[in-house]
Structure 1
Amino acid sequence: MGVTMLLALLLTLQTTGATLRNMSTTGCHIIKPPRDGGIRYRGLSQEQIRRVQILPVDYEIEYICRGERIISGPKVRKCLENGSWTDMSKESRCLHPCPRVWLSLENGQVQSDLSELDRSPVEGTQLSYHCDPGFRLLGANASTCTKIGKWDSPKPVCQYDRHYTGQSHSGKKTLYIGALFPMSGGWPGGQACLPSAEMALEHVNRRADILPDYELKLIHHNSKCDPGEATKLLYELLYKDPIKIVLMPGCSSVSTLVAEAARMWNLIVLSYGSSSPALSNRQRFPTFFRTHPSATLHNPTRVQLFKKWNWSKIATIQQTTEVFTSTLDDLEDRVKKAGIELSVRQSFLSDPAVAVKNLKRQDARIIVGLFYETEARKVFCEVFKEKLYGKKYVWFLIGWYADNWFKINDPSINCTVENMTEAVEGHVTTEIVMLNPEIVRGVSDLTSEDFLDKMMARLGVMNPEETGGFQEAPLAYDAVWALALALNKTAGELAKRGLRLEDFNYNNKNITGEIYKAMNTSSFMGVSGHVVFDAQGSRMALTRIEQLQGGIYKKIGYFDSSKGNLTWYGNDKWIGGSPPADRTELIVEYRLLSQKLFVSVAVFAGFGILFGIICLTFNIYNSSVRYIQNSQPYLNNMTAVGCMLALAAVFPLGLDRKHIAQGQFPFICQARLWLLGLGFGLAYGSMFTKIWWVHTVFTKKDEKKDKRKHLEPWKLYATVGVLLAIDILSLMIWQIVDPLHITVEEFTKEAPKGDLDVLIQPLLEHCNSEKMNTWLGVVYGYKGLLLLLGIFLAYETKSVSTEKINDHRAVGMAIYNIAVLCMITAPVTMILNSQQDAAFAFAALAIIFSVYITLVVLFVPKVRLDHPDSSATKRLLRG
């Protein structure tokens, strides 16, 4: 902001005609660009560039070149306080680059005059070539880069000298290692691994206690990390002298080819840069070893972390390549053995959008991502769009990306650096330790720091991390040492049998077998850590665990899979304060009846039962009174008892898991059914009996008045008994054939208020049976017919007057009310079945109102008749 304001001020002063040249202005004058080049002015428009003459302090300009030219010398200059630009003593020029392939020489060395600023050879760069012992140079021993971007002579080659005796200058026998180093291609790891291996050979060959009678030499080619190119080079290594005792390929695709073919020539293969899990197959690759751990070595660490953070459910997303697929297959096997669920497994070829959306839809929380760095940016751009990051999510990534991989400007994505930084925050990486974190001297007498110092001096570049394979360079160094120690051990074993290492040929299985045994039992401390191979020939190593905290990777622990030891620093940080849950926490919540509603209804039911007892007591106590006798008191007693049973059903109807244990539910269900069934059957059955016999006897057109007035009581009781027996029999059959039990109804999951990572699963318990609807249909059909018949009979007998059943009109009124309430309540409660409060209130209040109406209509007039002078008594006597 300050620079921009100063620029604006300078421009204003210039445009207003101020005498700038007479003022002491802090800044730097504009300088000319190099020939065939230009200058990029940051933050200035074309119009401002044409008008400005002085640029402020700390302003930076950048040189750019036309066409295919590149900058030789400083590319960026900065304005200093003294008014000068940085590095003005060093000229910047736009020159044509020459091919970098001239910078390497197989089986030889290249010396150049490249400056630290020049990463590529340009006009004037001079190279000189020298071959290793046993090889002779074919071609010019020097080459110069011309101004048109071409070398002035073809690239020379080092050809094996057939007349070479195999004796080094020290008089030792020479053993040859055939190596393939990818100097270019998908993984140009040979750029650092070749110098590392050559340094290891120098150190080994200087040791008097290791292979004292031999000298190791490399015969190497550039495989370009291409299996096709490697096939041609493998043919040359095998069919051209000298005989190679071991092969050393680099990247996985080339190692697969070499290791599979090596068995035919009885050759041990030792790779320094192959991570493919497919190579851990002893049947397919019987002589293969590698100092680069398999990609599956990440998986034990991941499983250990899942256990540490109490996660039992994970998801994965992978790029569709062989190395990631086989790694994920191994992870799936390991998590199953650990009792961890792999719930979602997504893959993509080039566009991860659909895969990321599927992870979101499946509610993935703990996600393992396996993909290359370029695809990682695509994935996390989609992660940002889908909001699949933050305190609810944890991503596990591969640790060998560049530290700033998410900040690199990538035209293939449409997310800003800020978006990417937000999305990747907090993710965890696992990375194979390729440089010993401990300061210890190993078999080479070098610490890891010593090795780095020597490597950086050997590479001679300012930023060695930008050199291909620099990270794997310790593995190449230790690979040579592993081979040297194995050959040293083999030489001792062969001497006991009268054999020598130089006797090796491609048909000699015995020597190959001894080398295999020695390699298989290797165990030493190298610059990359403890070197030991597992049964599949893969390196066992430490795994470093890091977490991105505030945009910076922080080490949070190490895991030794060979010993199962986890070293934890305790500095892991989480956005939510603690590791998130591996799934949305599901809280089961049973919908319970409102206690206020239950208590209120229960009070009414209790008063109803008390009222029923009073009515029953009154009826029994006054059973000798004439008008009570003429009302069929025993039937009225049955009605009162039935009403009390129906009211008693209200209590179990409102009981749920808040009041009773789970095991008592079946009993409560049966209690609801029997109390309500018997209560209704007894109460309504006794009233229906009255109205039935009134209609049967007293509405007949019979002139014999005595018969009309005669009604035997046993017929009444028999009718009630038949109706009650039907109810009892049907309930017993229902209970035996299809007993009631508890069923649980699930509702749509609900998210509580607030940013809680939980969902509530509402549940409601019902008393149910397998064929509940069938039974209800039968019961409702039968009872419905009785209710309709009762209404009809009540209507037909409304004008009948008889002293045998003197309260049949009150009974008819009660039947009207009961029928209406039942016919409304039955379907409504079925509709409201999933709403516990409404269903209970509707059913319970229907029972209570029916009972109260019945008791009031039947018994209150009789209580008033206990006072003969009352108007009600007179009306009844007149009626």
Structure 2
Amino acid sequence: MVQSYPAVRTVANDLSNLTAMDKKQWEVNLTRGVTYRHGSNWHEDNVKNMKELLKDFKSKDVRIIIANFNQTVATHMFCNAAKEQIYGPRYQWIMLGYASESAWWNEKTDCSMQELIRAINGTLQTRIPNISMDDSDDRPNHVWDYIEHFSTLKTNYFDAYAYDTVWSLVHMYRSGILLNQTNIKTIVNNIDFIGATGKVRYLNGRRIGEILVEQYVACRMMNDDSCQIPCYENDNDCNLTVVKVFLAKNSAANDDLPSLYKLHSIMWHGSAPPRDRTNQTIVFEHIYPSVFISITICSGIGLIISISLFVFNIHFRLHRYIRMSSPLLNNIILGGCMLAYISTILMGINSSLFPNTAFTDMLMNIICA
């Protein structure tokens, strides 16, 4: 039994105090993990864990999901996302891509292929290209020869990186002999040449290279085996194609930010990217002055009538007919009517009826209290 614990990282627009709230922007970075165990015996537990995770995202209004999991987990995750309706114009999935160009979504799940395609459609992924996409003329001839034969060879995805690693060792050896350097870290950081995978440089022992941003787009299969974009929700012959949208390459200096080159436009489910947070707008509402005046006049008339009847009831309380009509109960009813009319007038009073002064604030606090 193999256990894997892929982390699912999300950027959430949640307003509760989950991990670390940016009170100024009302945005929370929410990190969640899901436990996935390989094997048919763990299928129900895996489905339960994924559903709980996705329901947690929905309850916290997560819109943009940055996920890091293997291809098996990805297929089942998108299957559950299709069932929970966590896809479409309100959501954007972003994955750390795989070093493979195979159709990983063909793995068997509880969903149909069309359900999976609808859920994966529009997903962005980042990965390193298996060979450089830069057509630079500064490459040595031996690199051009390798690139020309690369497509005809049965290669592993990282063969071009292994090729550049060998040449990196050659540059290290040359630098150590010719420049008489003994600090390996300095020698590695000084490596700078154009190889099969682009410009080969290192920073603190890490390779600096190109990053490719791709998008899975649903397309409709045609009779000539081509895939035409787009494929709509009600189509039943959809497939997935991978569209390269951005290429990130490092600048001349190692410490500079990478440059982003646009290759194709991103396909959004709606007219624009989904919102990454819930915008809250405070709007003060009040009734129109004409409505307030009308209600005040009607309430005033009712208040005058109630006061008149109350005074009449007290003044003639010893009269035989008044005594027979339960004067105490009548007074209680009239008192309630007067309070109701007064509250109607007070409830209609708002700050827009007065000038904006400190006295107005104090008066409104007294009325609202």
Among 146, 150, 157, the alignment partner of 1:451 is 146
How many pairs were matched up? Answer: 282
Alignment partner, residue 368 of structure 1: 66
Does the CA-based 8 Å contact 1:652-1:671 persist in structure 2? no
User: Given the superposition, is the C-alpha separation of residues 663 and 486 from structure 1 closer, same or farther in structure 2, using an over 3 Å criterion?
Assistant: farther
Out of 14, 33, 38, which is 1:347 matched to?
33
Change (3 A) 1:401 1:575: farther
2:181 aligned with 1:487, yes or no?
no
2:120 pairs with 1:414: no
| Partner residue, 2:350 | 656
Partner AA of 1:419 in structure 2: E
For residue 190 of structure 2, what is the aligned residue in structure 1?
521
Query: Does structure 1 retain, via aligned residues, the 8 Å contact 2:214–2:246?
Result: yes
What is the alpha-carbon distance in structure 2 between the residues aligned to residue 671 and residue 356 of structure 1? 48
Letter aligned with residue 529 of structure 1 = G
Offset, 1:397:
0.7
The answer to whether the 8 Å contact 1:429/1:545 transfers is yes
Alignment partner, residue 320 of structure 1: 5
CA 380–390 in structure 1, closer or farther in 2 if over 3 Å, else same: same
Counterpart among 426, 431, 436 of residue 132 in structure 2: 436
Matched residues in 2 for 1:372 and 1:320: separation?
A: 10
Q: Distance in 1 between matches of 2:265 and 2:51?
A: 33
How far 1:516 moved relative to its partner? 3.7
Distance 1:443 1:482 in 2: 14
Residue 385 of structure 1 and its aligned partner are, at CA, apart by 1.0
Q: Report the CA distance between 1:569 and its aligned residue.
A: 4.4
Change over 3 Å in CA distance of 1:599–1:476 after alignment to 2: same
- Counterpart among 396, 406, 416 of residue 94 in structure 2: 396
Shift of 1:492: 1.0
Kindly tell me: are residues 456 and 579 of structure 1, through their superposed partners in 2, closer, same or farther at Cα, counting changes over 3 Å? closer
Q: Aligned AA for 1:439?
A: D
Pair 524,657 (structure 1): closer, same or farther in 2 beyond 3 Å: farther
Identify which of structures 1 and 2 has the higher relative contact order when contacts are C-alpha pairs closer than 8 Å and 6+ apart: 2
Indicate which of 182, 185, 201 corresponds to 1:532. Answer: 201
2 CA distance for matches of 1:661 and 1:388? 49
Indicate the residue corresponding to 2:237 in structure 1.
none
String of CA shifts for 1:819-841, please: whole Å, max 9, x gaps. Answer: xxxxxxxxxxxxxxxxxxxxxxx
Conserved? CA contact 1:346–1:359, under 8 Å: no
1:556-601 CA distances to partner (integer Å, 9 max, x unpaired)? 2222354342223461121111111113444545564476652322
Correspondence list, 1:275-674, <5 A: 320=5, 341-350=27-36, 351=46, 352-400=50-98, 402-403=100-101, 405-410=103-108, 413-446=109-142, 450-457=145-152, 459=153, 464=154, 470-494=156-180, 513-535=182-204, 537-550=205-218, 551-560=240-249, 562-569=256-263, 571-588=265-282, 590=284, 592-593=286-287, 597-604=291-298, 653-656=347-350, 658-659=352-353, 666-669=361-364, 672=367
Describe how 1:778-797 pairs up with structure 2 within 5 A. none
- TM-aligned CA distance change 1:376 to 1:577, over 3 Å: same
Query: Quick one: distance in 2 between partners of 1:659 and 1:401?
Result: 67
CA pair 353-548 structure 1, distance change in 2 beyond 3 A: same
Check whether the contact 1:430–1:546 (CA below 8 A) recurs between aligned residues.
yes
Distance (whole Å) between structure 2 residues aligned to residue 364 and residue 489 of structure 1:
51
Instruction: Note closer, same or farther for the CA distance 1:661–1:530 as it changes in structure 2 (3 Å cut).
Output: farther
TM-score, scaled relative to structure 2: 0.65
Q: Which runs of 5+ in 1 are unaligned?
A: 1-185, 187-318, 329-334, 495-510, 612-645, 673-766, 769-879
The alpha-carbon deviation at position 404 of structure 1 amounts to 5.2
The range that moved more, 516-525 or 650-659, is 650-659
Aligned CA RMSD, in angstroms, stands at: 3.7
Q: Between 549-558 and 593-602, report the one with greater CA deviation.
A: 593-602
Distance in 2 of aligned mates of 1:607 and 1:353: 61
Structure 2 CA distance for partners of 1:456 and 1:565, relative to 1, 3 Å? closer
Pairwise CA distance, 1:416: 1.1
The alignment partner of 1:669 has SS state of helix
* 1:112 aligned partner: none
Alpha-carbon distance change, 669 to 539 in structure 1, aligned in 2, over 3 angstroms: same
- 1:541 maps to a residue whose letter is G
* Cα distance change on mapping 1:432 and 1:659 into 2, 3 Å: farther
Unaligned runs of 5+ in 2: 11-20, 37-45, 219-239, 251-255, 306-339
**Offset of 1:349 from its aligned partner?**
2.1
Task: Find the residue that maps to 2:66 and give its secondary structure.
Answer: strand
Report SS of the residue matched to 1:451: helix
Give me the whole-angstrom Cα distance separating, in 1, the residues matched to 2:112 and 2:341.
71
1:782 aligns to what? none
Query: Within 2, Cα distance between the matches of 1:600 and 1:554?
Result: 64
TM-score (norm 1): 0.29
Distance in 2 of aligned mates of 1:370 and 1:454: 33
Kept in 2, the 8 Å contact 1:439–1:447? The answer is no
Q: 1:392 to 1:379 in 2, by over 3 A?
A: same
* Structure 2 counterpart of 1:486, one-letter code: M
2:199, 2:136 → 1: CA distance? 11
Which amino acid in the other structure matches residue 378 of structure 1?
Answer: H
Change (3 A) 1:491 1:584: same
Cα deviation per residue 1:766-788 (whole Å; 9 max; x = unaligned)?
Answer: x23xxxxxxxxxxxxxxxxxxxx
Q: Structure 1: which amino acid aligns with 2:216?
A: L
Q: Secondary structure at the match of 1:365?
A: strand
Greater helix fraction, Structure 1 or Structure 2: 1
- The SS at the match of 2:267 is coil
SS at match of 2:203: coil
Deviation at 1:393, TM superposition (A): 0.1
